[in-house]
Amino acid sequence: MSQKTINFYELYSDKPLGCNIENNKFVFRLFAPRATSVKLILFDSPFNETGHEYQMKKDKDGVWELSLEGNLYGKYYGYKVDGPGGNRETFNPDIIIADPYSKAVASKNTYHHESKSLIINTNYNWEGDKWLNISYEDLIIYEMHIKDMTAHPSSNIQNKGSYPGLTELNKTGGLSYLKELGINAVELLPCQDFGNIEIPYNKKTPEHEFNEWGINTWNPYEKNHWGYMTTYFFAPESYYASDGTIERNKYNGTDGRQVKEFKDMVKALHKQKIAVIMDVVYNHVSNYDYNPYKYIDKKYYFRLNPDGTFETKSGCGNDFKTESKMARRMIADSIKYWMTEYHVDGFRFDLATMIDWETLQLITTEAKKINPDVILIAEPWGGGGYNLGIFSDLGWGAWNDLIRNGVKGYNPYDGRGFIFNRLYGLSDLNHLKVYTMGTLRKHGGHFMKTGHSVNYMESHDDLTLGDFIRIGNADISENAVIKDMDKHVKLNPKQLKLNKLAALFLLTSQGMIMLHEGQEFARSKVIAQTNAPDYKIGQVDRNSYEKDNETNWINYNHKNINIELFNYYKGLIELRKKHKAFRYSSDKSFTFLVSSNKSAFGYLLSGKETKDNDFIVLMNGHHQDYANFFLPKGKWSVIVDHKNTDANRGLNASTIRVPPVSGLVLVRQ
């Protein structure tokens, strides 16, 4: 068959890709079906600009291959890929790209993110560590950023902002804090190696840089703090290693310690019975870095517009073509690698509707072959798509924005929810009842099982719950400049009630639970004073993706300022973990109670099904009026009130009054 008749997009290979040891040789393989030449460049140091070049050979399936003898551990390599020109092609043999299957990379702190692949021995002593295999219904997830949890001085962590920092115990922040709160899983914002640096602010860049968005007028920090711009899908982010630096033109990851330190972190979390979920981004890559797939074959790996430019339905540029056969294989290979090599318990997929259905099915099948109890969670929107329930058909969980918007609201002005006494749309009583039972399809919801509903009030995106309430309660405006941070953070009585009511609704509802870092003390994200030319310094931040500073770092002093709310969250977590009724009850266990106050609702939760106690949960969203409820027969005790989660107060009455903006939990004696 002549090369002209080959359908390059149908080529597929099962050969191991990347650098692997086979028959005592180091074998390098790269899938580049339309390339006309691929050279391997071998370096003794990551700082070398030139190395020894080897021409690779291409097989019939589009895989370029080379075998080398000798001990190559500790050396570095990259590729030069050449191919067709014209029509916005991006083959460029003058650029050295790292291996997309790199196990570790050394990367330079520039917006190019120039990298070399490190040939590293990844053997590790796991000391018997295994996946925790926590069921979906039992999960109480803490969404967190690796650096944020330990970077602030108040954390008292020695290795601040790093993987090792999250292994330290008996400190104010980090692992000890997570253990004290009582969560049983962390969801790590992206920590596959990513492009840390964005293009210079308000400066022109050369036309050949993938900058179809024009001059950077949006990011004065020139940083990507959250990490949603993955470059290497098999390599841990080296900025979070113990020698990580953000200094321009310096290198991270030169000795590969990030591999061991990531594993140490996972093992330390597992020892404390905390599962590790990774937030992974397979829908787009950065506009500006030397992401290898852009230079290996742009047309194969990316969705393009008719004029050959990158599609940007993700809103971030460079939408990945997950439906390409070897792109699909890469995603599955990456998931399997993190499960086996790093003992990761699960994954949250960013903008998951941008991943094609066949790839989603492959991920599910391959991941469950390794661990049938793997945690798979979708962000069920992206690229213009929204499908909350479809992932439930795969057995996945999905972020349930309906409960978020119904209870809290979708904006703090004209889109407030139940806790603000707004009972319309997603916040009406019928919807609230559906949420408490797990937002199931048979009740007009979206999920096949309660465990598939990821119930949450805030995430890294948009305002924190604490700031939503501060603004929604008209205590501050978004453009107000905060002068005294401690005074601003301190909750007034009304704010405290609103935060508690949202927490009570969340942590007594059926489904998987997710908290965002600092939610439990009403964290406020106020833009910190830096040298960056940000005219919004001192204002509340909706989108802090670019700020590697105290805007995002967790200030544990604020926990002490709002210790009552922290203890309320902690107590509700203990209650939920202790009683299966709040996790495993079907709709048969619910009997809804009626109040004359139309802004209140409650239910009797029978413990018969779960071999647990009987409970009553009552919530009043009205801001002035009490809500009166008749109690079912029996002797009842209040165990959660507007102040405490261990009230233990007996009742001798057939009715009970719930104060405004508050809730109660009762148990049958």
Q: Is pLDDT at 5 greater than 80 in this prediction?
A: no
pLDDT of residue 288: 87
Are residues 456 and 404 in contact, defined by beta-carbon separation less than 8 angstroms?
Answer: yes
pLDDT of residue 271: 98
Q: Is pLDDT at 592 greater than 90 in this prediction?
A: yes
Are residues 454 and 447 in contact, defined by beta-carbon separation less than 8 angstroms?
Answer: no
- Rounded distance, CA 397 to CA 137, Å? 10
pLDDT of residue 553: 98
pTM of the full predicted structure? 0.97
Q: Delineate the domains of the chain, giving CATH numbers in brackets.
A: 3-118 (2.60.40.10), 402-578 (3.20.20.80), 588-668 (2.60.40.1180)
List CB contacts of 607: < 8 A, sequence separation 6 or more.
579, 581, 589, 613, 614, 615
pLDDT of residue 86: 86
Average pLDDT over all residues of the chain: 96
140-144/415-416 β-pairing: unpaired
pLDDT of residue 234: 98
Are residues 250 and 108 in contact, defined by beta-carbon separation less than 8 angstroms?
Answer: yes
Q: Which two tokens stand for residue 214?
A: 């024009």
pLDDT in tens, 445-502: 999 999 999 999 999 999 999 999 999 999 999 999 999 999 999 999 999 999 999 9
Q: DSSP code of 324?
A: S
pLDDT of residue 648: 87
Bigger pLDDT: 427 vs 331: 331
- Rounded distance, CA 427 to CA 440, Å? 16
pLDDT of residue 316: 85
- pLDDT above 90 as % of the chain: 93
pLDDT in tens, 538-550: 999 999 999 999 9
What mean pLDDT is predicted for residues 561-575?
Answer: 98
- Nearest CA-CA partner of 639 in 600, 659, 666, 608: 666
pLDDT in tens, 126-168: 999 999 999 999 999 999 999 999 999 999 999 999 999 999 9
Q: Is pLDDT at 209 greater than 70 in this prediction?
A: no
pLDDT of residue 214: 73
pLDDT of residue 641: 95
Q: Is pLDDT at 268 greater than 80 in this prediction?
A: yes
pLDDT of residue 190: 98
pLDDT of residue 1: 40
Q: Which two tokens stand for residue 114?
A: 């120039």
- pLDDT above 70 as % of the chain: 98
pLDDT of residue 259: 98
Q: Is pLDDT at 211 greater than 70 in this prediction?
A: no
pLDDT of residue 213: 62
Q: Is pLDDT at 206 greater than 80 in this prediction?
A: no
Helix (H) or strand (E) holding 230: strand 230-236
What DSSP letter does each residue of 341-388 carry, written as one string?
HH---EEEETTGGGS-HHHHHHHHHHHHHH-TT-EEEE--EETTEE-T
pLDDT in tens, 173-205: 999 999 999 999 999 999 999 999 999 999 887
Place of tokens 């209870």: 407
pLDDT in tens, 248-259: 999 999 999 999
pLDDT of residue 317: 82
Q: Is pLDDT at 2 greater than 50 in this prediction?
A: no
Dihedral sign, CA of 436, 441, 445, 446?
positive
Place of tokens 């004065």: 220
